[in-house]
């Protein structure tokens, strides 16, 4: 399919350097090697994106245990969970006991061999491991240390943070939901995955700067900062609120007073153009039979004709955006009378030729079955030796000269022997010594698969 190529690493077959070079030929981040010390979601999101763009990502996991998400929310007994597989494509897995002296030796060699180390441990974990920033610089002055933390420097910097905590402390929850209801989190993982995407940009920028300076540096992406960055329009509205009511918010038209903070705005548009989610045909039985409809000023006349209210175009009570401010609920009620007679896709078919902005509420089922998303590689089907075929998101960034391929996630320790030999140069008796130490898992069992 154009835009994505699914490659299965079959059990019992190592993908060697030559194979990986063939896969990664011409990729944007070819020859960049990432030491992936991340787990759960925020860090793996970042390293997976870098892997899609061509970096060689080596994921370090605890022997016999691995990333905690391998066994979280398991749906297929005996197989890695979708939680893990959908966040760890295109990576190699090596098991290392970092508390073991031989494990520390292997880790030190990895630091020498890699360009970037990415971690999302609790604050201070690397220092306790004996590999803080000063030690890393001693080993490899060109190393870039990229970290996800819950908070930046300040009163909460030592606190652990999860997705919904980040949404709450970053301003998303206080501005999400309806005015008469409690704060709400969003289904989009803006705390974890959103921060991982921010960190990936920081890493690429640090790599670019290193080409000029020759030096590595630290890169920090705090989850609170990432969420706030995505909530910037609400920070904008906080400042506007100090100068008077937010007139494009529907509560203004309803005569509801504003408080001191940016309020929850239901489904109001954040761009200043009134918008709302409206029922469509079948809404009684289909929870997603809705459409988002925006009454853009430039399209007002066409909207009036479409819904059968041509008189509104010249009526001084409706003709201008200012005149409609106190009637926005009534306007959308009337538009909804029209949308309820059509499916959400029929609404789209009617509105798009007229340049009326709207969009159907698409369910995960509808998105997973959309052919165009398969064709562009936005959704990809991948085969896995333990669980069989499954769907996953593909690379959301499309480069014309660096096609993203989606390689299945690694089995635990699948590439331990490969990395020890090909990347770190262990061979012969030295290789046997490291394996016999027990610091790198059961390499014999991996090789025998």
Give tens-digit pLDDT for 49-89: 999 999 999 999 999 999 999 999 999 999 999 999 999 99
Q: What is the pTM of this model?
A: 0.90
* pLDDT tens figures, 427-439: 999 999 999 999 9
- The band of 190, judged by pLDDT with boundaries at 50, 70 and 90, is very high
Quote the percentage of the chain above a pLDDT of 70. Answer: 93
Provide the pLDDT for residue 444. 59
Average pLDDT, the chain: 92
3 state SS for the chain: CCCCCEECCCCCCCCCHHHHHHHHCCCCCCCCEEEEECCCCHHHHHHHHHHHCCCEEEEEECCCCCCHHHHCCCCCCCCCCHHHHCCCCCEEEEECCCCCHHHHHHHHHHHHHCCEEEECCCCCHHHHHCCCHHHHHHHCCCCEEEEEECCCCCCCCCCCCCHHHHHHHCCCHHHCCCCCCCCCCCCCCCCHHHHHHHHHHHHHHHHHHHHHHCCCCEEEEEHHHHHHHHCHHHHHHHHHHCCCCCCCCHHHHCCCCCCCCCCCCCCCCCCCCCEEEEECCCCCCCCCCEEEEECCHHHHHHHHHHHCCHHHHCCCCCCCHHHHHHHHHHHHHHHHHHHCCCCHHHHHHHHHHHCCCEEECCCHHHHHCCHHHHHCCCEEEECCCCCCCEEEECCCCCECCECCCEECCCCCCCCHHHHHHHHCCCCHHHHHHHHHCCCCCCHHHHHCC
Provide the pLDDT for residue 182. 97
Provide the pLDDT for residue 123. 85
* pLDDT tens figures, 303-337: 999 999 999 999 999 999 989 988 988 999 999 99
Provide the pLDDT for residue 21. 46
* pLDDT tens figures, 108-140: 999 999 999 999 998 889 999 999 999 999 999
Provide the pLDDT for residue 254. 86
Task: Write the CATH number of the domain with boundaries 267-356.
Answer: 3.30.1540.10
Provide the pLDDT for residue 19. 52
* pLDDT tens figures, 138-185: 999 999 999 999 999 999 988 889 999 999 999 999 999 999 999 999
Mean pLDDT of 264-268: 93
Dist CA 369 CA 91 (whole Å): 27
* pLDDT tens figures, 5-64: 443 433 333 344 445 444 445 899 999 999 999 999 999 999 999 999 999 999 999 999
- Decide: 184 and 194 in contact? Cβ < 8 Å: no
Residues annotated catalytic, as ranges = 192
Mean pLDDT of 404-432: 97
pLDDT, greater one: 382 or 124: 382
Domain boundaries, the chain: 6-230+368-447, 267-356
Mean pLDDT of 369-387: 96
pLDDT at 3 over 50: no
**Cα Rg, the chain, nearest whole Å:** 26
Provide the pLDDT for residue 326. 87
Q: CATH for 6-230+368-447, among 3.40.50.10540, 1.10.10.2160, 3.40.50.300, 3.20.20.210?
A: 3.40.50.10540
- The band of 448, judged by pLDDT with boundaries at 50, 70 and 90, is very low
């Amino acid at each position: 399919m154009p835009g994505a190529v699914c490659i299965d690493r079959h059990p019992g077959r190592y993908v060697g350097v030559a194979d990986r070079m063939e896969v990664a030929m011409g990729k944007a981040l070819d020859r960049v090697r990432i030491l992936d010390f991340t787990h759960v979601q925020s860090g793996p999101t970042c390293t997976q994106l870098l892997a899609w763009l061509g970096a060689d990502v080596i994921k370090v996991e605890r022997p016999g245990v691995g990333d905690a998400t391998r066994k979280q929310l398991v749906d297929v007994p005996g197989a890695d969970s979708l939680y893990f597989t959908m966040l760890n494509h295109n990576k190699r897995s090596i098991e290392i006991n970092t508390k073991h002296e031989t494990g520390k030796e292997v880790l030190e060699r990895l630091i020498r061999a890699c360009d970037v180390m990415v971690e999302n441990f609790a604050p201070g974990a690397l220092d306790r491991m004996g590999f803080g920033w000063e030690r890393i610089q001693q080993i490899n002055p060109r190393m870039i240390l990229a970290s996800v933390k819950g908070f930046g420097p300040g009163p909460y910097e030592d606190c652990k943070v999860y997705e919904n905590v980040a949404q709450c402390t970053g301003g998303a929850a206080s501005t999400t939901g309806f005015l008469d209801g409690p704060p709400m989190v969003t289904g989009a993982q803006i705390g974890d995955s959103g921060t991982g995407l921010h960190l990936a940009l920081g890493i690429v920028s640090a790599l670019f700067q290193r080409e000029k300076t020759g030096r590595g540096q630290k890169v920090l992406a705090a989850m609170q900062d990432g969420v706030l960055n995505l909530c910037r329009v609400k920070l904008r509205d906080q400042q506007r609120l100090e100068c008077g009511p937010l007139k494009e918010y529907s509560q203004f038209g309803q005569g509801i007073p504003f408080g001191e903070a940016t309020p929850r705005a239901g489904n109001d548009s954040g761009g200043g153009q009134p918008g709302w989610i409206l029922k469509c045909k079948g809404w009684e039985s289909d929870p997603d039979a809705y459409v988002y409809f925006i009454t853009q000023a430039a399209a007002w006349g066409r909207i009036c004709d479409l819904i059968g209210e041509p008189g509104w175009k010249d009526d001084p009570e409706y003709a201008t955006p200012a005149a409609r401010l106190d009637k926005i609920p009534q306007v959308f009620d009337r538009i909804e009378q029209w949308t309820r007679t059509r499916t959400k896709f029929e609404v789209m078919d009617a509105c798009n030729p007229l340049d009326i902005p709207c969009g159907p509420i698409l369910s995960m089922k509808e998105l997973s079955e959309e052919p165009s998303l398969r064709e562009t590689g936005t959704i990809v089907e991948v085969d896995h030796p333990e669980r069989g075929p499954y769907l996953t998101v593909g690379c959301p960034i499309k480069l014309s000269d660096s096609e993203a391929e989606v390689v299945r996630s690694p089995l635990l320790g699948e590439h331990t022997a490969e990395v020890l030999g090909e990347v770190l140069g262990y061979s012969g008796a030295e290789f046997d010594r490291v394996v016999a130490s027990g610091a790198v898992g059961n390499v014999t069992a991996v090789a025998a698969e």
